Amino acid sequence: MFSYPTVRTSLAFLAIAVVGLAFADIAITAANPWRDLGNFFLGVITPNFFSSEGLLTALLRTVAFAFVGVALGSFFGFFLALVYRAWPVRIFCAFIRAIHELFWALIFLQFFGFHPLTGVLAIAIPYSGIFAKVYSEILDEADPEPGRLLPPGTGRIAAFLYARIPDCWAQMRTYTAYRLECGLRSSAILGFVGLPTLGFYLEASFSQGLYSDAGAMLILFYVLIATIPLWVRPKLLPVYVLGAPFFLGEGLPIVWGNVERFFTEDIIPSPLKDGEGLSGLMSWAGDLMVEQALPGIWNTVVLTQVALVATGILALLMFPLISKHFGGPVRRTSGHVFLVVARSTPEYILAYILLQLWGPSMLPAVIALALHNGAIIGHLIGRQTNGIRLRPDAVTGFGRYSWELVPRIYRSFLAFLFYRWEIIMRETAILGILGIYTLGFYVDSAIQNIQFDKAMVLILITAGLNIGIDALGRYIRSKLALQTMPTC
């Protein structure tokens, strides 16, 4: 067993997580965590759909922001994918997708304010980077032979439209549809920083303990996501995409002077503005590093590693829920529902709920990250096991799980897990806004103190950390020769 590189890698990560756990701040500080959790579930089963007149509008705005953001993201991502070979483009895309939607929103809020453009760009920019990467991977995998057979003198555009796109089309469409679902989640959580989407009301209801109202919003959101195949039809798509911009709400007018001020004043480090020169800048940067960046990086990394392993364990525990090799149709259907709910709930909302119920520590964050990501990976590998044909006399029960299935899916399981490593870190950083001391906490504090120069430096550090993890994840995946579909 120990001679397998995959097993050794897994154990190494497990060991890192255990050590991380020793340093992590894990606690339930609420006096009555289970009573609160009980109240919450009571709220979910006694939903109040008429709590707020704004609820339906918020739902509409959530969908509108998702459509416009994802459409623009896929449009620009597509063109970036065409020139993705150039390394400046690669670096640019890695950079824009390393910054979380919420961070983008916080940045744009400073100069566009409550204008729809803030929410649209917060989704469109990071999504462009993600689309560029995945589209270019899909295009690279297309069969090159038809292109070689074209008559010389064929225009580049015609060659591209005939010989490359058709083969990639189905995959690109599937991926874009998946991203639309992600876009709905992103759009919903933008409400937490004040945009007029679902998160706005969800946050208000939760912070006031109005669990029936919150439950109703969550149920509406699950229904919205679960019914995507019913209402997102290829024929209706143009209608949605063209119509969505008119449902973003008015917001407040942009004052363009603010944009200039943000880039020429706000984000310039204060020692430079005050003319304290290089030595002033050094001590400013030194203080920022020691007091905020380093503790933030440490907590972000510790939480990421613990959450990554917890995600893996949960995924391995949850995939039998939907595997046809275990249980009957009733059990599998309930398993499906559970996984859909767990993966449709954005980590940010899950973490927010658990933090409200259990008090602040890394525990709610770990559980939220592991539940959401574990459900996604569990769903993917569970579906994969359904393609496995066991011999008729294969063992049953735990023997079947541990001897027949896990060894077969372990490599793709690891591939998915390392693929999500970067995503988990992005989320970990952002959870700081909720009060866990990761980088997002310090970014939020800097913004609350109107110190955008510090906030920008911290956001850049977060992006750098993400790019590093992304590269490391890719290195490990190639070292272990793990293949993965981009649709994860």
Tell me the per-residue interface mask from 261 to 280 with another protein, x by CB under 8 A, - otherwise.
Answer: ---------x----------
Of 361-420, binders to another protein (CB under 8 A) are: 361
Count of residues in contact with another protein, rule CB under 8 A: 78
- Told to check if 294 binds another protein by CB under 8 A, we report no
- Told to check if 159 binds another protein by CB under 8 A, we report yes
Q: What is the 3-state secondary structure (H, E, C) of the chain?
A: CCCCHHHHHHHHHHHHHHHHHHHCCCCCCCCCHHHHHHHHHHHHHCCCCCCCCCHHHHHHHHHHHHHHHHHHHHHHHHHHHHCCCCHHHHHHHHHHHHCCHHHHHHHHHHHCCCCHHHHHHHHHHHHHHHHHHHHHHHHHCCCCHHHHHCCCCCCHHHHHHHHHHHHHHHHHHHHHHHHHHHHHHHHHHHHHHCCCCHHHHHHHHHHCCCHHHHHHHHHHHHHHHHCHHHHCCCCCHHHHHHHHHHHCCCCCCCCHHHHHHHHHHHCCCHHHHCCCHHHHHHHHHHHHHHHHHHHHHHHHHHHHHHHHHHHHHHHHHHHHHCCCCCCCHHHHHHHHHHHHHHHHCCHHHHHHHHHHHHCCCHHHHHHHHHHHHHHHHHHHHHHHHCCCCCCCCCCCHHHHHHHHHHHHHHHHHHHHHHHHHHHHHHHHHHHHHHCCCCHHHHHHHHHHCCCHHHHHHHHHHHHHHHHHHHHHHHHHHHHCCCCCCCCC
Of 208-237, binders to another protein (CB under 8 A) are: 208-209, 237
Of 59-118, binders to another protein (CB under 8 A) are: 68, 71-72, 74-75, 78, 109-111, 113-117
Q: Which stretch binds another protein (CB under 8 A): 87-95, 157-165, 181-189, 324-332?
A: 157-165
Please, which residue, 151 or 328, has the CB nearer to another protein? 151
Please, which residue, 121 or 469, has the CB nearer to another protein? 121
- Told to check if 167 binds another protein by CB under 8 A, we report yes
Please, which residue, 14 or 30, has the CB nearer to another protein? 30
- Told to check if 283 binds another protein by CB under 8 A, we report no
Residue of the chain from 444, 462, 463, 465 that contacts another protein (CB under 8 A): 444
- Told to check if 120 binds another protein by CB under 8 A, we report yes
- Told to check if 293 binds another protein by CB under 8 A, we report no
CB of 234 vs another protein, minimal distance in Å: 10
CB of 244 vs another protein, minimal distance in Å: 7
CB of 394 vs another protein, minimal distance in Å: 34
Residue of the chain from 170, 294, 388, 472 that contacts another protein (CB under 8 A): 170
Of 323-362, binders to another protein (CB under 8 A) are: 359-361
Of 181-200, binders to another protein (CB under 8 A) are: 192-194, 200
Of 21-50, binders to another protein (CB under 8 A) are: 29-32, 36
